[in-house]
Amino acid sequence: MHIDLDDVDRKILNALQSNGRVAFSEIANEIGVDEATVRYRVKKLKDAGVITKFTALLDPAKIGFPVTAVIMIKINPVLFDIASAEIAKLSETRHVFQSTGGYDVVAVVNTRDLGHLSDLRRRLELISGVSDVMVFATTKLLKIKPSFDL
């Protein structure tokens, strides 16, 4: 469901996307509203599901997971829900999408090395309902943008 955001909501969200630890008082001063307004709006945005969580964005390579891959998976439709839930539970998966076209699921994963990636592929192939797994190891990060321009 789409949520209508006004200018104040957008400014608050932009500030939080830049720095999730910024003080509400600092946001209030920056956008020209009371701190209570910022607190109320953030609570409203959280309750509406616009803000889903506050978290730190980590560099996977610096924490021991330098290999990023995109994995495309075909799944038997009868077992889709069970198989896709199993894929989503894997610790290596960062993003799991249902997709259109020739593959049913697209997953973005991070692994320690190519051997770990190969092991992950084998584990995926053993999930009941999985009929094909296509792995694309990435070679260079060209863009990552976890925020939205509001």
Residue 1 in this model has a pLDDT that exceeds 90: no
Residue 19 in this model has a pLDDT that exceeds 80: yes
Q: Domain of residue 82: give its range.
A: 60-137
| Across 71-76, average pLDDT | 98
pTM for the full predicted model: 0.85
Does 127 reside within a domain? Answer: yes
> Are 105 and 98 in contact, with CB atoms under 8 Å apart?
yes
- The reply to whether 64 and 133 lie within a common domain is yes
| Across 26-49, average pLDDT | 97
DSSP 32: T
Q: What is the CATH number of the domain that holds 34?
A: 1.10.10.10
CA 73, CA 128: separation in Å to the nearest integer?
Answer: 12
Does 19 reside within a domain? Answer: yes
- The reply to whether 99 and 41 lie within a common domain is no
146 burial type by CB count under 10 A (0-12 exposed, 13-18 middle, 19+ buried): exposed
Instruction: Tell me the per-residue pLDDT of 102-139, one tens digit each, with 9 for 90 and over.
Output: 999 999 999 999 999 999 999 999 999 999 999 999 99
